[in-house]
Amino acid sequence: MTQKLLRIYGFEYMFIGGNRKGLVQKFIGLFNYSYRLFRIMKKENVSLAISAGSPYVAVAGWFSRIPAFQFIDTEHASLNLSILKIFSDKILTPSCFIKKLGRKHSLFESYLELAYLHPAYFKPNPTILKELGVKKGEKYFILRFVGWEASHDIGHSGLTIESKRELIKLLIKYGKVFISSEKPLPKEFERFNLSTSPEKMHNVLYYATMYVGEGGTMVTESALLGTPAVYISSLAGTMGNFIDLEEKYGLSYSFKSSDNAFKKIEKLLKNKSLKKEWQEKRKTLLHDKIDMTKWMVKMIENTNDK
């Protein structure tokens, strides 16, 4: 998916290897991929390495004697954080990040997702509605099912197959249902498969009536776009982003139990001005948070000037 998006946006890139499944394979990958990055950094005369919490970049940067800056917002990524604390030069997290990571840790008053979803950079395109076969004003819902194969997802879970059936049955009474899934969908759910190109996903989320799912990033993205978001996962309550979005702004809700989540969803759907209220909440959030992209660029420029 990453390569597909890079090609769509016209970026040049070097492929160092795919996602490895299981802790043993990921550990092997740490050495292989870090070494490949080390060689690239030396060959390309890299002066600064920046990533979204990549242990490969951290290790390669350390051995190359190149400063490595890490942006991360996932508190339960314990293995990654342990590596980043040793090998990175800076670890940058949202101000709502729960854990304290020592002297290398710096905070910013924003979310990583605002780097691309701030109104200065993202403009919703209503043509997505025609592509989805949705009429203007018609309700539709986005469901996200994850694969649970990331290192920080091991041992955690979300919706059962029975809960997924119940959720679809609940939502389809109010509007159309579309499913985005990391794994192939069971045959019974195939008719709900979201087939739009991945670069259009944020348009899909912006116009959706509600997002419900196991995918944490899409929870934040939906909330920042002014779309009600319901997160169902055993990880509920463990990440500062979601606590901030729920308790401070009322833009999303997190549940470990699908029963409690479904009750909340039904209550929300009875609100006839749901989307209007969420867009107002979004305005409050945007007023409080910094322009993430502008802040990142300034920080990097200041680093290079030293």
Q: pLDDT by residue (tens digit) across 92-118?
A: 999 999 999 999 999 999 999 999 999
- Are residues 132 and 281 part of one domain? yes
Residue with tokens 């309700």: 139
Residue 33 lies in a domain: yes
Residues 58 and 177 in one domain: no
Please give the average per-residue pLDDT across 241-267, as a whole number: 94
Q: Are residues 266 and 135 in the same domain?
A: yes
Sheet holding 49-51, edge to edge: 49-51, 68-71, 90-94, 105-108
Co-location of 281 and 300 in the same domain: no
| Cβ count within 10 A of residue 48 | 13
d(CA 16, CA 18): 7
Examine the pLDDT at 149 and tell me if it is beyond 70: no
Residue 158, pLDDT above cutoff 80:
no
- Pairing state between β 140-145 and 105-108: unpaired
Residue 105 domain-assigned (yes or no):
yes
61 lies in a domain?
Answer: yes
pLDDT average, residue stretch 205-218: 94
268 and 162 in a common domain: yes
DSSP track, 193-213: B--S-GGGHHHHHHH-SEEEE
Give the per-residue pLDDT at 147: 58
Q: What's the rounded mean pLDDT across residues 123-127? A: 96
Assign residue 283 the CATH number of its domain. Answer: 3.40.50.2000
CA–CA gap between residue 232 and residue 123 (Å, rounded): 28
- At residue 148, the pLDDT reads 44
Q: Which domain holds residue 84?
A: 2-110+291-305
pLDDT band with cut points at 50, 70 and 90 for residue 290 = very high
pLDDT of residue 156: 41
- Provide mean pLDDT across the span 203-208: 98
CB 235 within 8 A of CB 216: yes
Do 100 and 181 have their domain in common? no
- Tell me the pLDDT band of 152, cut-offs 50, 70 and 90: very low
For residue 118, is it within any domain? Answer: no
